[in-house]
Amino acid sequence: MNFATKQSLKILITGIIIFTIIIVLTYKSTYEELLTLELKNTESIVDEISANFECHLLEKVKMVKTLSVAPAIVSALEKSNALYGALPEKTRAAEIQSQDKKWRSIDDPADPFIQKYINNDVSRYLKNQQENLNGEYGEIFITNKYGAIIASTSKLTTLAHAHKYWWKGAYDNGAVFFDDRGYDDSVGGYVLGIVVPIKSGSEIIGILKANLNILGSIDGLLSEKEDPRTGNLQLIRSGGLIVYKKGTEPLSTRISPELLEKMQTAEKSFVLTEKDEKWLVSISEIGITSGLPGYAFGGSFESIDHKKGNTGESWYIVDYRSMSNITESAEKTLRNFLYHGLMLIIVLAFTSFKIGEQTAKPLKELIRQTAQIAQGNFDVRLKAERKDEIGRLGISVNQMAQTLKETTTSIDNLNEEIAKRKGAEEEIGKSRRRLKTLNKIIRHDLANDFLVINSAIKLFKNTPDIAYLEEIEKRVKRSLDAIKHYREYETFLDENTELVELDVSTILENLITEYPTIKFNVEGDCRVFADDSMYSIFKNLISNSLHHGEASQITIKASSEKDVCIITFSDNGKGIPDEIKEKIFDEGFSYGKSGKTGIGLHIVKQAIESYGGSIRVENNIPTGATFVITLRKVNFT
């Protein structure tokens, strides 16, 4: 496998691994945040619907109470109570039982005895209200304070009611009683009875009961709230029977055992698995059904005219939302991440392959030509047009070939030629090592940009802002530019670069403009022998202070002493631990956060030493680090 292929394959594999980790972590974080948000969302939905439902029931109570205050009803009750009240208690009870027995024995509503109760002034008033709100009411009837009917909109099963749970619930406590009757045969539907005490002053003089066809109201309240955001809404009893579920007969089904078990806990929102499907479920109890002051809620499971009545259970609103619908948007976003990320990785790998091919091309030619020389063809000559290590290597090989040719006739000359050939081979090895170092630098810069791309993707996950994608694109372009323009780093590796006179303060003035957020204090000046790489050396030291030392202020001093110029970089960062001061200039040594310049202190030291200078590190008082550079000074005559 050739150099270019290896490089592109390494980048591709590394990118895929990093990106896979990012995708997994991003999805996990997104899922958890989305779940927390949607749990709160769904909880607020059911609380809102529960509150609306409670208001709806209170409106029904007001409507029924309005009926109870009619003067005709109060007057009729007072007459009936006076009539029955004049009788001794036992006689009164016997009379009511006698009338109840007679009532039960008559099936014909047209019978004069039945008509007395269902066709009087009060019953006609009740029927008129019933007709005005068509479909709202089932039967409406009123009993006196002894439980005997005085008026009804239709013939009921019984005339006497004082023994019934709902009558006692309203009369004994003076409270509005909700009679959750379940399915009522007399009405032919689901009925909720509202039982209201009728008072004269503080005394209860009678009981009014209105059986409401509640199913239509329930359907209206819940159906209008159902949409993709709210999911599937249900009204249930705390015992598990489903009062309302769209498309299902009331009280014909129950909630799952898993949900019933969850209802016993304090959780209001949770993820529930039913039949291998995950649901986000929220529940909210309707407060008025749980026994608020002034109200009672209950029933009897079976009676003469209704089935599956309420036995003391409260009502709950339940919202089912499919988890697959909730996570769909997050999964779509992640798919977009995956697509764009893979595209970037492929582009980087392809670019690396192309640049690697260009970098390796002269080496291939060099290998081919040196192979011919190794076979004894000393007339081979390489084109040595390049000015870098490879060009110098070509010159060395040509010189070696010429020398071999000239000295092959003499054993002494041959030995001398062998010695020179070894030197040339060492030069080849040295150049290869330099090329390897250059390759490391390029990979180092690419890795830095990958880290930034990684962070931008993570931020985009939290806030899908196009700015993050633009940052990724910028970093990709920067990586490509860094690879194409690595000539700056080649200067560090070139031991034969011609040194020129440079002004330290001029370099620093141009450099510090790149760091507008950092406070610089530049003192002194001197001219030194160096090359254009001094800019990158100073830039690397500044970046070191920012990214490793986390400094916010840097002081740079330049002073002359005899034939040398001493340049110090001092920062107010966290400094360099004593145990690593001797190692920071070693090749391959790293500590803490990764640098950003792509050069490294090892290369900085090599470059300064190639100028005939030196560099060392000291502590800065009270905090931070100081790098001291010594270079040959330009003496003015």
Taking only the tens place, the pLDDT of each residue in 507-527 is 999 889 888 889 999 999 999
Amino acid 118: pLDDT: 94
Sheet of 519-524, strands arranged across? 519-524, 553-561, 564-571, 625-632, 614-619
pLDDT attached to residue 17: 84
The pLDDT score that the predictor gives to residue 165 is 87
Q: Please name which of 195, 255, 245 lies closest in space to residue 218, comparing C-alpha atoms.
A: 245
416 pLDDT higher than 70: no
First-to-final CA distance of the chain: 59
pLDDT at 278: 86
Mean pLDDT of the chain: 80
Report residue 241 as tokens. Answer: 């029977």
pLDDT-based confidence at residue 568 (cuts at 50, 70, 90)? very high
Q: What is the mean pLDDT of residues 586-607?
A: 68
Give CA–CA dist 390/325, Å, rounded.
61
Q: What is the 3-state secondary structure (H, E, C) of 85-131?
A: HCCCHHHHHHHHHHHHHHHHHCCCCCCHHHHHHHCCHHHHHHHHHHH
Asked if 608 contacts 619 with a C-beta cutoff of 8 angstroms, the reply is no
Measure the CA–CA gap between 427 and 522, rounded to whole angstroms: 41
Domain positions in the chain are: 330-484, 497-632
For residue range 217-266, what is the model confidence (pLDDT) as tens digits?
777 777 766 666 667 888 998 888 888 888 888 888 899 888 888 888 88
Q: For the chain, how big is the Rg over CA atoms in Å? A: 47
Please report the pLDDT score of residue 33 as a whole number. Answer: 82
Q: What is the pLDDT of residue 597?
A: 40
More confident residue, 427 or 554: 554
> What are the structure tokens assigned to 633, written together?
């000074």
Given a cut of 70, whether residue 360 has pLDDT beyond it is no
Look at the domain 497-632 and name its fold.
Answer: Heat Shock Protein 90 (3.30.565)
Output the pLDDT for position 82: 95
Q: Which long-range contacts (CB under 8 A, 24 or more apart) does 129-133 make?
A: 129/67, 133/63
Using a 10 angstrom Cβ sphere, with 0-12 exposed, 13-18 middle and 19 or more buried, the burial of residue 131 is exposed
**Given this model, what pLDDT does residue 569 score?**
95
Task: Give the closest residue to 431 by CA, choosing from 395, 407, 400.
Answer: 395
CA distance 87 to 90: 8
Q: What is the dihedral of CA 338, 340, 346, 350, to 10 degrees?
A: -170
Please list the alpha-helical segments (H only) found in 293-410.
323-326, 328-374, 389-407
